[in-house]
Structure 1
């Protein structure tokens, strides 16, 4: 018959197991891929900041590896490495419809959520111990003030913003080897300029010598130069005032993680009936 379709083509088109490639693509995998791609980029950015910080201070040059574990930049490295690894697994799992990678992503995300819940419970149950741990961490910052640029920046920002000095009082700086009155340097019997009531000279330039020799003075005279109160009480009050913002931030983080989980589980559910690739 002149206008008919060849029977061979019809048989070929209708052959079993030859479905169109798009039939095996889970409809939600594009959203899961884009969602995890965003967190992959954020994780890589965090990792890059941490590595840059360690390189800038020479931690990775070989001669300063011993105290590496106490460096705050290591937290950026670990957080960025963990987030980028999990997000990469989610991206590849959604892109290739791989049940193995998606299950790894779901398990790792659930582990992160579990750690966050455990941390929240610890904050409620062991507040006093955590307060003591915070004070120990601040003492470490005080002792290593001159040795770590990022710790020095952190201490100066806290003292300047909260208008405080030291842990419990300005005299806590006597425990620092450089500010102790028996130290040989020019900073002996002094405290950082961030403790000063007015650290600015001529309204714009920081006067690094505004607190020189203040530990020689009595409390009455020192009160006209530096803040006498410590930062532990002020920091605790600030954290209590920020409780609402912290709670909101945690809720947003959990919501984002839940969204990523739901997207991954949807892709898993779509590819499960057809046989997932590993």
Structure 2
């Protein structure tokens, strides 16, 4: 056995060069034989023999995946918050969980964070299994995104009609379905619109119809209002009450009169180039991370192949 701090060193012997092992002069392992070059070589742990370029790639891969891990966890947290806020996880509503749009953010968040964390750990600990899992996950993401983009582009007219039908259903079932209500409110507030084709579409809702006996009769949702806060800090849920019974000239100072379907079509037409650029940028970022991981895997493979060659150390 080797005494002192030298215990635990892994030594590879070479019997063709005679001589002692370690240098005694000024060495903390005093009394050990002197090492001659070529007699014994110290076998360092895997990864310590990566070149400087491979080291840069290793930490770039780690940072790239760390960023996407955080983004994935944020998506997951947003999805869980949405499910809890709408009480979709309570026992009486768990059966309708599959139709909740917030479930999409949960699934995407779990997938992105899982794959990215595998890439982080694989790069940091130079684990080829985790890195291969990461590359497989990224390839799957890229293929699904390209396939989805092609399908959406080829069926863009059908998608537009489907969105219009969804908004119409949301108008009819506004008070009965919290998911549809959430979607309709977000569209109306984001695009400053009201109804599907015009604000008069809300007459189709039994609660907002002027013949309804409720307090919401002849009204529209607060998300149609131009200023739902009314210069305050808390939204006024009654700001749209009575808007359907007003003259159009009077109503336009309180609510948005234009429908969301034409407004959404104009928005998509005007931002088509920007959306395409974002999509291409996302694909390029994912392909960049894939190339970094592939380069790191190649570097690790070459180092380990070198270590298996006789006389390579």
Deviation, 1:117, is 1.3
Contact in 2 for aligned 1:32/1:91 (Cα 8 Å): yes
1:114-143, Cα deviation, whole Å (9 max, x unpaired)? 122112212321111111222233234434
**1:47 Cα shift?**
0.7
Greater RCO, 1 or 2 (C-alpha within 8 Å, sep 6+): 1
Higher helix share: 1
SS in 1 for 2:250: coil
Residues 144 and 269 (structure 1), Cα distance of their counterparts in 2 relative to 1, 3 Å cut: farther
The structural deviation recorded for 1:211 is 3.2
Shift of 1:260: 0.8
**TM-score normalised to structure 2 length:** 0.73
In structure 1, the partner of 2:196 is: 167
**1:148, CA displacement in angstroms?**
6.1
Unpaired runs of 5+ residues, structure 1, are none
Question: Are 2:224 and 1:195 aligned?
Answer: yes
Q: Following the alignment from structure 2 to structure 1, what is the Cα–Cα distance between the partners of residues 256 and 170?
A: 18
Question: What does the per-residue CA deviation read over 1:36-59, in whole Å, with 9 as the maximum and x for residues that have no partner?
Answer: 112112211211121122122222
Aligned to 1:20: 44
> Contact 1:197/1:224 (CA < 8 Å) preserved in 2?
no
Give CA-to-partner distance per residue, 1:161-215, whole Å, 9 cap, x none.
53421111223223334323454421123212333466565x5476543432344
Which SS does the other structure have where 1:134 is aligned? helix
Distance 1:20 1:207 in 2: 68
Question: In 2 relative to 1, CA 182–245 (structure 1 residues): closer, same or farther, beyond 3 Å?
Answer: same
CA distance in 2, matches of 1:264, 1:23: 18
Contact 2:170 2:180 in 1 (8 A): yes
Is the aligned partner of 1:232 residue 2:258?
A: no
Task: Give the Cα separation in 2 of the matches to 1:140 and 1:29.
Answer: 51
* Contact kept in structure 1, 2:19 and 2:36, CA below 8 Å: no
1:249 paired with 2:262, answer no
Deviations along 1:199-237, one digit per CA (max 9) or x if unpaired, are 565x547654343234456xxx24531444311011110
CA distance in 2, matches of 1:86, 1:270: 21
Per the alignment, residue 8 of structure 2 pairs with none
TM-score (normalised: structure 1):
0.82
Distance between the aligned counterparts of 1:13 and 1:172, measured in 2?
Answer: 88
Match of 2:132 in 1: 103
1:42 and 2:71 aligned: yes
**Are the equivalent residues in 1 in contact too, given 2:19–2:39 (CA < 8 A)?**
no
Measured in 1, the distance between the counterparts of 2:187 and 2:104 equals 20
Kept after mapping to 1: 8 A contact 2:77/2:106: yes
Unpaired stretches in structure 2, ≥5 consecutive residues: 1-17, 23-34, 306-313
Greater CA drift, 67-76 or 83-92: 67-76
